[in-house]
Structure 1
Amino acid sequence: MHARGSGPRVMMTRQPTEGRSRNGGLRVGEMERDCLIAYGASMLIYERLMISSDPFEVQVCRKCGLLGYYNYKLKTGICSMCKNGENISTMKLPYACKLLIQELQSMNIVPRLKLAES
């Protein structure tokens, strides 16, 4: 039997390591995710993919939809494209999603996040 509460993580993706020999966690893949969606277990998916894995807080510009950054001197979020902090919202994404967005931007594909007021 193999299970763990917390343990080592991969540096690049911040997700749990694989395999019992490396004290890795049991991972939820795409097929397992699809099964959980089919059974309507949305809170379990949220817990496994966000809370237990790799939550990351990002700043998103409501005007252009691009990721920004947090300026610790000014204590505010700043958009990378607009160069101001007026229309910045903070949200939580899985770190792997943020990494995917940055890799697409490096290939000159610019995904934009459309935020709705809640």
Structure 2
Amino acid sequence: MVLDKMHARGSGPRVMMTRQPTEERSRNGGLRVGEMEHDCLIAYGASMLIYERLMISSDPFEVQVCQKCGLLGYYNYKLKTVICSMCKNGENISTMKFPYAWKLLIQELQSMNIVPRLKLAEA
């Protein structure tokens, strides 16, 4: 009976929108770390495990952030340079790694006219 319940995977299918592993055993899904599991791992001091589960194994994504205004930038393939969408130049741009789901959250907040800004201490 235990063998019927066991399920684990190294890599596999992902959801198209969030780029995170699929849910459920029937869809060859992964074991997901939710908010409660995240908080329990923090309480036990497992910060490297959380970093590995949420960033490396799940959905890492490179984001360009403007140091001046704190908004997300983009890469212009025609000019082959990074441009800030607010400042319209690429002088003060830093590249950072965040989960893709975080980038989606920022974009959804911006679509609701809520503009989160990042303050970068060191570039």
TM-score (norm 2): 0.93
Find the residue that maps to 1:100 and give its secondary structure: helix
CA displacement, residues 13-52 of structure 1 (integer Å, 9 cap, x when unaligned):
0000000000000000000000011011110000000000
Q: How many angstroms does 1:91 deviate by?
A: 0.3
Query: Structure 2: how far apart are the matches of 1:93 and 1:66?
Result: 14
Query: Structure 1: how far apart are the matches of 2:81 and 2:51?
Result: 28
Higher deviation after alignment, 65-74 or 15-24: 65-74
Query: Structure 2: how far apart are the matches of 1:53 and 1:17?
Result: 10
Q: How many angstroms does 1:77 deviate by?
A: 1.1
Q: How many angstroms does 1:76 deviate by?
A: 2.0
Gaps in structure 2 of 5+ consecutive residues: 1-5
Query: Structure 2: how far apart are the matches of 1:92 and 1:76?
Result: 18
Gaps in structure 1 of 5+ consecutive residues: none
% identity of equivalent residues: 94
Structure (1 or 2) with the larger CA radius of gyration: 2
Query: Structure 2: how far apart are the matches of 1:112 and 1:9?
Result: 29
CA displacement, residues 51-97 of structure 1 (integer Å, 9 cap, x when unaligned):
00000001000000000101123332110000000000000000000
Count of residues in correspondence between the two structures = 118
Q: How many angstroms does 1:9 deviate by?
A: 0.5
Supply the RMSD in Å over aligned alpha carbons. 0.8
Q: Which runs of 4+ in 1 moved over 6 A?
A: none
Q: Which of 17, 29, 35 in structure 1 is aligned with 2:34? A: 29
Query: Structure 2: how far apart are the matches of 1:43 and 1:34?
Result: 13
Query: Structure 2: how far apart are the matches of 1:19 and 1:43?
Result: 25
Higher deviation after alignment, 74-83 or 95-104: 74-83
